[in-house]
């Protein structure tokens, strides 16, 4: 299927020509038929020389330019209508400027009302206007010869580039309505990707399901590009979806409310304009940056690098500029001189991908997956190396300032280095002179500071003489061995913690097992306490540790046996 839009000044015969080619009158509204004036988008279709052609008929009156732009935004080709009786008119020029700004490159010029006057002056006027656009030297047909118009239409669509049926779907909605017994139906021009009955799509952050598809008035199981399509949806009310909204492949598009764009054919730019892109018309605040601009959108849109649109001043009824999206996640411009540097970067075409992003986000932004892959992320190699050096320095400084700590928490190191996610910290430190354990980072082989080492040596002497006489709280306090210092000694393998504030030598479990094995079995806590020459304060948690290690086995009566 091929989709062609009409364009041209009001009352130049666009709808009449579509009717003559298809046998269908595109004006569907009662007011349009009463007034003989196209107000909103109209649709018709026909088989022309073995090709299915769908037409999007647009209004020509200046009051309805926004409707016209919603119709031509996603369409790759246009049938431009000029009446021989009036020639080139103001809305002819505005429509042509809009098409050029939107990147339309394929056009057929059709002269209508040639039976009333010589068409050559109108052809010459149109040719001069088209010469300044990417649609220069369009083929020309005269509507009084419908067969010639049909032949030129087939040549036009045969030259169109092949669409990508495997691409992510982004259907710009141009109509929404309710069908009795079916529910919500939306229509649009499918420019890329494929829709199938049963597909889950995304709209406004929630999932909707394709209940049914129609194209050219027939039910379809699937529809590929480029096509006019009507989508019957489950999961959304007709009031919640309308022109300017999108249906898209879930998880593959990012909504953005700030973009950097290249300006094409830009005139005077006001600060407040309207961005027309796809079928959407969104007010924007414009910050000019030389041949580029930053746009702040009144509502977010799913845009990608390379999308084209236009800026329009509705108050003055003029096209302000064509735009091409350069960046959908632009850097902030808070620093002095940042806007000037960004303008130079954009002018030189050096728009770079972000220094870090998930691969899926880069795809959704329309940017290449260039850089170093780290799991699901793509990072700039230079930025990554800088973060690595910063991480090593930060962890070492932390160790120096927290000499008895277990190490720097991974989340603290993530914040220090500016990484977007904590799961990047471990890959960042691969090969670095650091070790990661228990959610913390520290230099390897970390020893106890002298003040702690000396105090632990004293405890070690006590335990060498009486292995199961753990020093009490007062003795530890005199040595300035608080919980952090004791934890550091345990991590260093110098002591074994069996309960809060209760420490023994690192081999205490093995020594206790040998002593207890010599007792008559089973034995009680009191018997174990006497054999180990200790107190109940030590004996109970020590036996629980032995149970946990399955060195001993506790019976139902509280007695224990050493496992063989």
CA distance 472 to 468: 12
- Check if the beta carbon of residue 102 is closer than 8 Å to that of residue 281: no
What is the chain's Cα-based Rg?
A: 38
- For the sheet containing 372-374, what is the strand order? 356-358, 377-379, 372-374
Decide: helix, strand or coil at residue 116: coil
CA distance 253 to 260: 17
pLDDT of residue 32: 47
User: Checking DSSP bridges between strand 318-327 and strand 308-313, what pairing results, if any?
Assistant: antiparallel
Burial of 462: CB neighbours in 10 Å, binned 0-12, 13-18, 19+? middle
Q: Which two tokens stand for residue 496?
A: 């074994």
DSSP 7-33: EESTTSSHHHHHHHHHS-----SHHHH
pLDDT of the chain, 564 residues: tens digit per residue? 889 989 888 888 888 898 899 888 766 655 545 555 566 678 888 999 889 998 888 876 666 667 777 778 788 899 999 999 999 998 899 889 888 888 889 999 999 999 999 999 999 999 999 998 889 999 999 998 999 999 999 999 999 999 999 999 999 998 898 888 888 999 999 999 999 999 999 998 899 999 999 998 899 999 999 999 999 999 889 899 999 999 999 988 989 999 999 998 766 788 899 999 999 999 999 998 888 999 999 999 999 988 999 998 887 777 888 899 999 988 888 888 888 888 888 887 767 778 888 888 888 888 888 889 999 899 999 999 999 999 999 998 888 778 777 778 999 999 999 999 999 999 999 988 888 888 888 878 767 887 888 898 999 999 999 999 999 999 999 999 988 888 888 888 889 999 998 999 999 999 999 999 999 999 999 999 999 999 999 999 999 999 999 999 999 999 999 997
pLDDT of residue 158: 92
With the CA atoms of 369, 372, 378 and 384 taken in that order, what torsion angle do they form, in degrees rounded to the nearest 10?
A: -140
CA distance 54 to 44: 6
Phi first, then psi, for residue 307 (nearest 5°) are -60, 145
Residue where the block lists tokens 């702040």 = 296
CA distance 192 to 204: 20
pLDDT of residue 346: 84
CA distance 203 to 233: 11
Q: Which residues pair with 94 in a beta bridge?
A: none
- Check if the beta carbon of residue 468 is closer than 8 Å to that of residue 538: yes
CA distance 344 to 403: 48
Spatial CA neighbour of 306 closest among 248, 364, 358, 251: 364
């Amino acid at each position: 299927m091929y989709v062609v839009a009409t364009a041209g000044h009001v009352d130049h015969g666009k709808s009449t020509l579509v009717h003559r080619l298809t046998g269908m009158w595109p004006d569907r509204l009662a007011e349009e038929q009463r007034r003989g004036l196209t107000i909103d988008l109209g649709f018709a279709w026909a088989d022309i020389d073995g090709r299915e052609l769908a037409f999007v008929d647009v209004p020509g009156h200046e009051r309805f330019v926004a409707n016209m732009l919603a119709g031509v935004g996603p369409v790759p080709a246009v049938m431009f209508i000029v009446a021989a009786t009036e020639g080139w008119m103001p809305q002819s020029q505005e429509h042509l400027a809009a098409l050029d700004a939107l990147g339309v490159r394929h056009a057929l010029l059709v002269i209508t009302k040639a039976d009333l006057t010589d068409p050559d002056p109108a052809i010459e006027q149109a040719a001069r206007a088209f010469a300044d656009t990417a649609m220069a030297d369009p083929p020309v047909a005269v509507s009084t010869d419908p067969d010639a118009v049909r032949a030129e239409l087939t040549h036009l669509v045969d030259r169109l580039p092949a669409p990508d049926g495997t691409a992510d779907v982004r259907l710009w909605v141009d109509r929404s309505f309710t069908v009795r017994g079916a529910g919500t139906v939306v229509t649009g021009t499918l420019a890329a990707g494929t829709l199938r009955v049963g597909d889950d799509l995304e709209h406004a952050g929630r999932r909707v399901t394709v209940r049914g598809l129609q194209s050219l008035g027939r039910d379809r199981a699937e529809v590929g590009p480029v096509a006019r399509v009507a989508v019957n949806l489950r999961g959304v009310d007709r009031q919640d979806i309308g022109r300017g909204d999108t249906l898209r492949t879930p998880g593959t598009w990012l909504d953005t409310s700030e973009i950097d764009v290249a300006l094409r054919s830009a005139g005077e730019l006001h600060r407040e304009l309207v961005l027309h892109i796809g079928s959407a018309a969104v007010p924007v605040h414009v910050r000019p940056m030389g041949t580029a601009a930053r746009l702040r959108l009144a509502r977010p849109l799913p845009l990608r690098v390379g999308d084209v649109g236009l800026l329009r001043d509705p108050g003055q009824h003029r096209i302000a500029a064509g735009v091409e999206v350069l960046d959908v996640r632009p850097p902030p411009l808070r620093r002095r001189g940042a806007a000037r540097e960004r303008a130079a970067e954009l002018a030189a075409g050096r728009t770079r991908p972000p220094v870090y992003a998930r691969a899926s986000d880069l795809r959704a932004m329309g940017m290449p997956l260039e850089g170093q892959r780290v799991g699901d992320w793509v990072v700039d190699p230079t930025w990554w190396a800088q973060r690595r050096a910063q991480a090593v320095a930060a962890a070492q400084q932390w160790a120096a300032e927290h000499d008895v700590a277990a190490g720097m928490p991974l989340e603290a190191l993530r914040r220090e280095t500016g990484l977007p996610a904590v799961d990047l910290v471990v890959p960042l430190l691969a090969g670095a002179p650091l070790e990661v354990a228990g959610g913390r980072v520290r230099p390897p082989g970390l020893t106890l500071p002298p003040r702690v080492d000396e105090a632990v040596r004293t405890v070690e002497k006590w335990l060498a003489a009486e292995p199961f006489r753990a020093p009490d709280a007062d003795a530890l306090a005199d040595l300035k061995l608080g919980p952090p210092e004791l934890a550091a000694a345990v991590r260093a393998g110098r002591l074994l913690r069996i309960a809060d504030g209760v420490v023994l030598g690192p081999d205490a479990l093995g020594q206790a097992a040998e002593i207890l094995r010599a007792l008559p079995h089973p034995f009680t806590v009191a018997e174990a306490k006497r054999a180990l020459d200790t107190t109940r304060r030590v004996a109970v948690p020590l036996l629980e540790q032995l149970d946990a290690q399955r060195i001993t086995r506790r019976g139902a009566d509280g007695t224990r046996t050493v496992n063989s």
